[in-house]
Amino acid sequence: MKKDKQLIYICAILGLTFAFGAGKAFLSEDIQKSPIVISEVCPHNVTAAYDDNGDYGADYIELYNRSDSSVNLKGWGLTDSADNLSKYDFGDITVDPGQCIIAWCNENIDDTDFYKKDYVPVDVHGVSFHLSEGEECILTDPDGNVACITTIDSGIADDETVSLIGDKYYVSVPSPYYLEETLAEEKRNIDAPVYSVEGGWFDDTIIVELSAKEGEIYYTLDGSVPDENSYKYTEPVVIDNRTDEPNIYSNIGGISSENGYLPDYNVDKCTVLKAVAISEDGISDVVSESYFVGLSRDDYEGMSIVSISFDPDDFFGYDRGIYVYGKVHDLLYAKYDMETVGIDDTEYAHFGKKGRGWEREVNIEFFSSDHEKIHEQKAGIRIHGGWTREQNQKNFQLYARDEYDGNSIFNYDFFGNGQIYNKLMLRGGGSTDIFVTKIRDVFVQSMVTDRAVGTQKAEPCVVFLNGEYWGLYNLQETIGASYIEEYYDVPQDNVVIIKNGESRTDDPDDVLLYDEVVAFVAENDMSLEENYRKFEKMVDIQSLIDYYAIETYVGNSDAYKNNYAVWRSRNPGISEYEDCRWRWLLFDLDDSCSMNLGANTADIDSFVDGNWYGNNPLNGDELFTALCANEEFRERFASAFMEVAENNFNYEDVSAKLWAMADKYKVAVIKSNNRFRGEFWLDEYPGFEGYEAPYDQDDYEKDIEILDAFFRDRTGYIVSYMYDHLGIER
């Protein structure tokens, strides 16, 4: 029997259930009479299911109404102990025939006083116990009798469930809101199909033959995972230039709260050929190749290419798609009259959600700048960033994990520096620059690699999603423990990273370690040598100085309290940087260098003005302001600031490197902006006047000139401001 879909429900169907363990006991005769049964229990929910706020992580218990009549759960109860049958009692909530609810072992974060009068909760929060291995999960009826009971196996893994299949319980994969009639048959792994032609760049039509040692071959051409319902391979596959075919994914709306532009032309397309071999008792791994046939070489000259393929529902599906508004957003509007509550609805859009649960599996093929395939790997992908989540071109974080293909790292030297990582980033840009030059962040970082702050290397690349052109990105290093290990020789398990006020390693309480340092500076007179010397033992002073000098020079409006990252070793160690002192990392410098009128043009005094959060170094930032009470710090800062201004941002050097980078990016930026910008009006950007789509070479050169002029004029202004504020004679 299958549970009917509810009008509003919480989780997507995650596919057919695959049993990992033997059956438990049959439902007893008495329990078979109960109209409500426990149909699924998940004691370690990492990615198994999300609640009605789109949050993963809570243990859950799914209840199913197997009767022909509606059942009100008032008086029913849940417990994990036979000695206490009333740990949680249900309120007035009705479950219709063939439908179910999920009871979550978490607090209800909603302000229920603001619920719409006619809103009926689709799930239950506030179950007062957590599920543990070896325990029983017990459902009681209004008379206090045991209505249903199941045991949680010892050794049950993350995201595995105890699920009712037929009239027995099995350890299985999650399938919230779906009840399997029969146990899925386990199949052995067989050899994957072999392609006669490897993916790559081709000028003319190609023919690809598939072969397998056993079983039938099934394939898809749209990036989706093939199964018995896909094309059955009977003859070679002819692969042509598909660009004239109608857009599929590029025509999907409802993906942005900012720029909703969709291309009014057929975007470039490649063919993603995925194949699987299936026999009577076996199934192979899915294999993939991407073929770029007949595309303009000029449009992609010198650009690396990244082909990302996935189950379309994982990106664009209503239930679990990470690129769309999705179901969670609709649930929010079902609960509240949004005109009367102060809720940012984009935080409830699927593209606004964060965390491990909103990571989806993808296959990634990397092609070099001369379009040779250099690496392929299965990985996890999430939407990345803050404001850019709300744009039509979104940024991505990539994760290498053993669970996807046995690789815990991206085992390829993408940046030619001998480094390997477990996380990478595909970044189309940040803030307004996502529709302008796309190079502010990577360019500024490239100019300060010799300073005592961490910087991110980057390589431009063109991305295709399920075979459709998705614009220009930068493949970048990303901040994480593997980055620290590679550059600073500190073992990952001895790294603490705080980014934007949140711990990115180990314990969420680690943020208190950094907060204590800021509090010490704010609460103690830094003009006193003893306090300053104590502070020196807490932080790498030069790293702090270089961070503030760089951010202030370029006028980053999105820094200090936001877009900051600091790290330290957790414990002392043998390497140079295992000294437990905080150091700074640079990222997201897009809101800088004349990106915004009145905020970071060359004449702005960025020591006291221009920060979006009112947290300028000498006007709102308690750390830097307090340190400036110390004469030694002021003089050291002034010296470093002048080095940054005269050496790192020497105009002649900057201009030459800028125009060289601009030339490399030019064709790709113009093509990408035409794909995503449209007529989008950037009214806070100095170059907004006179812009008309399509974006062209004149627009691009104007945008680079604005960036160039910033560096030409900046030193004359900001150096004077610096000396005046610090009270230092030149």
- CATH (domain of 59): 2.60.40.1260
Q: Are residues 193 and 34 in contact, defined by beta-carbon separation less than 8 angstroms?
A: no
Cα–Cα distance for residue pair 114/71, rounded to 1 Å: 26
Cα–Cα distance for residue pair 564/585, rounded to 1 Å: 7
| DSSP string across 289-323 | EEEEES--HHHHTT-EEEEEE--HHHHH-TTT-TT
Q: Is 483 helix (H, G, I), strand (E, B) or coil?
A: helix
* Dihedral sign from CA coordinates of 365, 277, 285, 247: positive
* Dihedral sign from CA coordinates of 492, 495, 498, 502: positive
Which pair of structure tokens corresponds to residue 210?
């598939």
* Dihedral sign from CA coordinates of 260, 263, 269, 271: positive
pLDDT of residue 271: 98
Q: Are residues 193 and 256 in contact, defined by beta-carbon separation less than 8 angstroms?
A: no
User: Average pLDDT of 265-270?
Assistant: 98
Q: Is 656 helix (H, G, I), strand (E, B) or coil?
A: helix
User: Average pLDDT of 477-491?
Assistant: 94
194 in the same domain as 100: no
Among the three residues 145, 172, 199, which one is the final residue of a domain in this structure? 172
In a domain, residue 429? The reply is no
210 in the same domain as 161: no
Q: Which helix (H) or strand (E) is 676 found in, with range? A: helix 651-676
User: Average pLDDT of 296-322?
Assistant: 97
From residue 690, give the alpha-carbon distance in Å to each of 16, 264, 680, 687, 694. 55, 22, 12, 8, 12
pLDDT in tens, 325-354: 999 999 999 999 998 898 999 999 999 999
pLDDT bucket at 32, cuts 50 / 70 / 90: low
pLDDT above 90 covers a percentage of the chain that reads 85
**Nearest alpha carbon to residue 316 among 328, 308, 324:** 324
Cα–Cα distance for residue pair 585/355, rounded to 1 Å: 22
pLDDT of residue 5: 32
Among the three residues 172, 201, 221, which one is the final residue of a domain in this structure? 172
Which pair of structure tokens corresponds to residue 72?
């009100």
Cα–Cα distance for residue pair 72/36, rounded to 1 Å: 10
pLDDT of residue 638: 98
pLDDT in tens, 518-538: 999 999 999 999 999 999 999
In a domain, residue 526? The reply is yes
152 in the same domain as 94: yes
pLDDT in tens, 190-210: 999 999 999 999 999 999 999
From residue 48, give the alpha-carbon distance in Å to each of 12, 58, 161, 278, 660. 10, 10, 9, 27, 48
Count of CB atoms situated within 10 Å of the CB of 350 = 26
pLDDT in tens, 199-242: 999 999 999 999 999 999 999 998 899 999 999 999 999 999 99
Q: Which of 469-473, 501-505, 506-510, 637-641 has the lowest mean pLDDT?
A: 506-510
pLDDT of residue 284: 97
In a domain, residue 707? The reply is no
Mean per-residue pLDDT of the chain: 93
In a domain, residue 427? The reply is no
pLDDT in tens, 349-377: 999 999 999 999 999 999 999 999 999 99
Cα–Cα distance for residue pair 486/41, rounded to 1 Å: 41
pLDDT of residue 402: 96
In a domain, residue 677? The reply is no
Strand partners, 620: 616
Q: For residues 642-681, b (16+ Cβ closer than 10 Å) or e, as one string?
A: bebbeebbebeebeeebeebbebbebbbbbbbbbbbbebe
How do beta strands 36-42 and 161-165 pair? antiparallel
284 in the same domain as 378: yes
Q: Are residues 514 and 498 in contact, defined by beta-carbon separation less than 8 angstroms?
A: yes
Strand partners, 397: 382, 425
Which pair of structure tokens corresponds to residue 595?
């990106």
220 in the same domain as 276: yes
480 in the same domain as 337: no
Q: Which of 20-34, 152-166, 423-437, 647-661 has the lowest mean pLDDT?
A: 20-34
In a domain, residue 676? The reply is no
pLDDT at 161 > cutoff 50: yes
How do beta strands 200-202 and 287-293 pair? parallel
**Nearest alpha carbon to residue 397 among 365, 376, 366, 427:** 427
pLDDT bucket at 1, cuts 50 / 70 / 90: very low
User: Average pLDDT of 619-623?
Assistant: 96
pLDDT of residue 22: 37
Instruction: Give residue 258's domain range.
Output: 188-412
Cα–Cα distance for residue pair 601/605, rounded to 1 Å: 9
Cα–Cα distance for residue pair 37/66, rounded to 1 Å: 7
333 in the same domain as 305: yes
In a domain, residue 430? The reply is no
285 in the same domain as 194: yes
User: Average pLDDT of 483-497?
Assistant: 95
Strand partners, 408: none
How do beta strands 583-585 and 206-208 pair? unpaired
Number of domain units in the chain: 3
Among the three residues 143, 172, 201, which one is the final residue of a domain in this structure? 172
- Counting DSSP H helices and E strands in the chain, the numbers are 14, 33
From residue 366, give the alpha-carbon distance in Å to each of 196, 375, 464, 515. 19, 5, 11, 41
pLDDT in tens, 118-146: 888 888 999 999 999 889 999 999 999 99
Q: Is 592 helix (H, G, I), strand (E, B) or coil?
A: coil
pLDDT in tens, 382-392: 999 999 999 99
Count of CB atoms situated within 10 Å of the CB of 699 = 20
pLDDT bucket at 675, cuts 50 / 70 / 90: very high
**Nearest alpha carbon to residue 606 among 595, 596, 618, 588:** 618
pLDDT bucket at 10, cuts 50 / 70 / 90: very low
User: Average pLDDT of 438-457?
Assistant: 98
471 in the same domain as 338: no
Cα–Cα distance for residue pair 668/462, rounded to 1 Å: 8
pLDDT of residue 178: 80
pLDDT of residue 198: 96
260 in the same domain as 160: no
pLDDT at 453 > cutoff 60: yes
From residue 326, give the alpha-carbon distance in Å to each of 219, 333, 344, 359, 395. 28, 12, 15, 15, 18
pLDDT bucket at 184, cuts 50 / 70 / 90: confident
pLDDT at 11 > cutoff 90: no
pLDDT of residue 31: 56
Count of CB atoms situated within 10 Å of the CB of 614 = 10
526 in the same domain as 457: yes
pLDDT of residue 159: 95
Give this prediction's pTM: 0.93
pLDDT of residue 3: 44
382 in the same domain as 242: yes
In a domain, residue 694? The reply is no
